[in-house]
């Protein structure tokens, strides 16, 4: 979340920045500043009350030592009253701090200065495009038809077992899925990321820490009995590895990677754009997460983008990169780049990765700090990206690599699959 001193010192810049998201923050920012003034006044009152109480307590001790018990007893009555006052002020202060935190949770991150204003994905800016779009044979099919033809993904069986959005991978389809996961993890660890096996259920504090709550509460599966959430992305458990952690500056940067299934309650609509693997309630993803010094985070951000590029180049899939406008940038992100693969069979771009810099927004929620060279505690920057989300990568491979004889496996994956064609 945004830091109160930053909001107070940059009031107009915060309001203007959040307007890029089509978020009218003026009233909320005023409430935050006013509540913070009340908080500071109460804190000062509490500090003064406690200081006076401590001073009188010392005086009482001295009076007893000098045999002035009557005077000491008079002062003891005063300390009793001061303790009652401090208790009442503490309760007021706790209430104000809780209300202030609730308000801060409602404010999204301020977009980076280079992020343009915009209302939706229609206003995103294409900044990079690479790869040749293959020319397919006359009988080319979308991946959901290929999945049925080669019996590698069974959407109807998944629907019977669970419901729509829960596909069952079979045979070479399952092996290709496992191959992609292993390949992505190997690429990430070779680039210096430490592999983690992470929980698939997280507590409420973890969801607040990364910004999924309260913003995306309705999009997550929740077990009310144990008050645990199925993760919408490995970003949540992975970033919460560092919740309430104080690092030394020389420990930065830190990079971790992990494979998890992801679960999202997104309401499905109808049409080809959500058919097959295009939108699922359960899907697999390999994530990369970084904790960086604020001075280095945007250099690291560019490095993450180059890393995802390298993976897509090895898969030989045509792709493009979009810089998201303010209106399409996620709630906790300062800047996001989306990667999209071109599906020749569907004649459309499919999003397969988002790489984001959250600056201090998540770190402030997480209390993720490092001790800088001056010996002071400073908030770190957090970043994350998909490397990669599997469903649409798999869809892109099935569709773009299809031939009349079968689906060719990208060369880089053959050592992982053990076969070179699905036929």
Binding residues: 233, 264-266, 287, 351-354, 384
d(CA 423, CA 402): 10
Question: Binding site for L-serine: residue ranges?
Answer: 233, 264, 287, 384
Q: For residues 118 and 98, what is the distance between their CA atoms, to the nearest angstrom?
A: 33
Backbone phi, psi, residue 400, to 5° = -80, -20
* CA 243 – CA 178 distance, rounded (Å): 31
Q: Identify the DSSP state of 394.
A: H
**In whole angstroms, what is the distance from residue 120 CA to residue 111 CA?**
15
The two three-digit tokens of residue 333, written as one number: 């992100």
Helices (H) and strands (E) in the chain, counts: 13, 19
Q: How far apart are CA 165 and CA 23, in angstroms?
A: 32
DSSP letter at 109 equals: P
**E strand map for 170-221:** 194-195, 201-203
Binding residue numbers for ATP: 264-266, 351-354
Whole-angstrom distance, CA of residue 274 vs CA of residue 395:
12
CA Rg, the chain, in Å?
Answer: 27
CA-nearest of 402, 121, 148 to 276 is: 148
* Cα–Cα nearest to 361, from 387, 391, 382: 382
**Contact call for residues 123 and 226 (beta carbons, < 8 A):** no
3-class DSSP state for residue 185? helix
Query: Using an 8 Å Cβ cutoff, are 82 and 35 in contact?
Result: no
Cα 387 to Cα 380: distance, rounded to the nearest angstrom = 22
């Amino acid at each position: 979340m945004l830091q109160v001193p930053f909001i107070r010192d940059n009031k107009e810049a915060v309001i203007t920045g959040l307007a890029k998201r089509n978020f009218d923050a003026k009233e909320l920012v005023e409430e935050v500043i006013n509540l913070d003034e009340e908080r500071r006044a109460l804190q000062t009152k509490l500090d003064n009350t406690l200081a006076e109480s401590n001073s009188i307590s010392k005086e009482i001790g001295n009076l007893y030592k000098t045999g002035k018990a009557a005077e000491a007893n008079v002062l003891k009555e005063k300390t009793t009253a001061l303790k009652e006052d401090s208790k009442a002020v503490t309760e007021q202060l706790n209430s104000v701090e809780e209300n202030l935190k609730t308000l801060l949770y409602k404010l999204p991150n301020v977009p980076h200065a280079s992020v343009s204003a915009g209302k939706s994905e229609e206003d995103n800016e294409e900044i990079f495009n690479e790869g040749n779009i293959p020319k397919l044979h006359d009988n080319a099919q979308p991946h959901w038809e290929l999945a049925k033809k080669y019996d590698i993904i069974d959407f109807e069986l998944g629907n019977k077992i669970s419901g729509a959005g829960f596909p069952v991978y079979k045979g070479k389809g399952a092996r290709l899925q496992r191959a992609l996961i292993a390949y992505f993890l190997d690429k990430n660890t070779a680039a210096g990321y430490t592999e983690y096996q992470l929980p698939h259920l997280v507590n409420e504090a973890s969801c607040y820490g990364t910004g999924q709550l309260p913003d995306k509460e309705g999009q997550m599966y929740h077990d009310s009995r144990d008050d645990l959430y199925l993760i919408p992305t490995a970003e949540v458990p992975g970033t919460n590895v560092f919740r309430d952690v104080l690092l030394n500056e020389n420990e930065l940067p830190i990079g971790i990677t992990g494979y998890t299934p992801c679960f999202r309650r997104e309401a499905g609509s109808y049409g080809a754009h959500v058919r097959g693997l295009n939108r699922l309630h359960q899907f697999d993803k390999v994530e990369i997460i970084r904790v960086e010094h604020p001075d280095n985070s945007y250099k690291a951000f560019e490095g993450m983008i180059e890393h995802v590029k390298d993976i897509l180049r090895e898969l030989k899939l045509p792709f493009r990169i979009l810089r998201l406008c303010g209106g399409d940038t996620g709630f906790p992100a300062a800047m996001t780049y989306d990667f999209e693969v071109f599906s020749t069979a569907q004649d459309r771009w499919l999003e397969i990765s988002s790489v984001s810099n959250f600056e201090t927004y998540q770190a402030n929620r997480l209390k993720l700090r490092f001790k800088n060279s001056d010996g002071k505690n400073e908030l770190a920057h957090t970043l994350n990206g998909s490397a990669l989300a599997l469903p649409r990568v798999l869809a892109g491979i099935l569709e773009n690599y299809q031939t009349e004889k079968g689906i060719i496996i990208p060369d880089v994956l053959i050592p992982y699959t053990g076969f070179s064609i699905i036929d």
